[in-house]
């Protein structure tokens, strides 16, 4: 059995993510231990809460550098919601602060896309649209999930420097925001697959299979 480590940086409820893996017959390790992260075959970076507090906790736990090192050495990483945003270089949320810097780009306010009919936070089911269909063979999101609904709760979104890493986009207000990214061993999404019923579970299952974690 491969070690799937859900990184616990003491922010947000991890229960739904744990249950998603258990539903697929996987018992994940929930840990903030450097040793557990070092020994992981796959990492999951979930998150609900503020970017600045999350990074403060990660640094105080002393796990920021080991996360970056593991990912740069090829360990598969699955980021969810705030976990997607933390992968980038900097965020406007709270006191502007640096992220993990695994991906180039920034996290900006969803207000930039807001229309008269849209609300902040974006808390709703919304469709994802695959931007790069050619990536679908090695992507946890497959072509069949295009235009399917997934659950979102967020007030910020990522703006990658490299547009080629954008896997899906989602309409909000007057524009589109990046709802998932894929590059090499890093997959991360703004929506919550663990709260998105069977479609979300399929993404977990695809991620596990693509990365040979089961």
CATH number for the domain spanning 184: value is: 3.40.50.880
Structure confidence at residue 11 (pLDDT): 87
Report, as residue numbers or ranges, the catalytic residues.
81, 192, 194
Structure confidence at residue 143 (pLDDT): 76
Secondary structure element (H or E) that encloses residue 182, with its range: strand 175-183
DSSP per-residue letters across 6-70: EE--S-S--HHHHHHHHHTT--PEEE--HHHHHT-SEEEE---S-HHHHHHHHHHTT-HHHHHHH
Q: Tell me the pTM.
A: 0.95
Cis peptide before 121 (omega within 30 of 0): yes
Distance CA 182, CA 160 (A): 11
Beta strands in 54-165 (DSSP E): 77-80, 90-91, 97-98, 105-109, 122-127, 129-130, 149-154, 156-160
Structure confidence at residue 137 (pLDDT): 65
Structure confidence at residue 174 (pLDDT): 82
Segments of the chain with pLDDT less than 50 = none
Using CA of residue 78, residue 69, residue 93, residue 47, what is the dihedral sign? positive
Domain that holds residue 77: 4-210
CA distances from 149 to 58, 117, 159, 170, 182 (A): 31, 19, 22, 10, 19
Per the structure, how many domains does the chain have? Answer: 1
């Amino acid at each position: 059995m491969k070690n799937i480590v859900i990184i616990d940086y003491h922010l947000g409820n991890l229960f739904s993510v744990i249950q998603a893996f258990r539903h697929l017959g996987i018992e994940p390790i929930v840990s903030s231990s450097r040793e557990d992260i070092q020994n992981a075959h796959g990492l999951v970076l979930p998150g609900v809460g503020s970017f600045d507090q999350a990074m403060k906790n990660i640094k105080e736990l002393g796990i920021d550098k080991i996360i970056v090192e593991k990912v740069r050495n090829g360990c598969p990483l699955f980021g969810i919601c705030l976990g997607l945003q933390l992968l980038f270089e900097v965020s406007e949320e709270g006191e502007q602060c640096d992220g993990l810097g695994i991906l180039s780009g920034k996290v900006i306010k969803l207000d930039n896309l807001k229309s008269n009919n849209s609300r902040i936070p974006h808390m709703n089911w919304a469709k994802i649209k695959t931007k790069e269909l050619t990536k679908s063979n090695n992507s946890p999101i497959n072509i069949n999930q295009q235009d399917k609904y997934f659950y979102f709760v967020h007030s910020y979104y990522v703006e990658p420097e490299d547009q080629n890493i954008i896997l899906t986009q989602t309409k909000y207000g007057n524009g589109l925001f990046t709802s998932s990214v894929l590059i090499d061993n890093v997959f991360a999404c703004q929506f919550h697959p663990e709260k998105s019923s069977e479609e979300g579970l399929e993404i977990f299952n695809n991620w596990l299979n693509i990365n040979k974690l089961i």
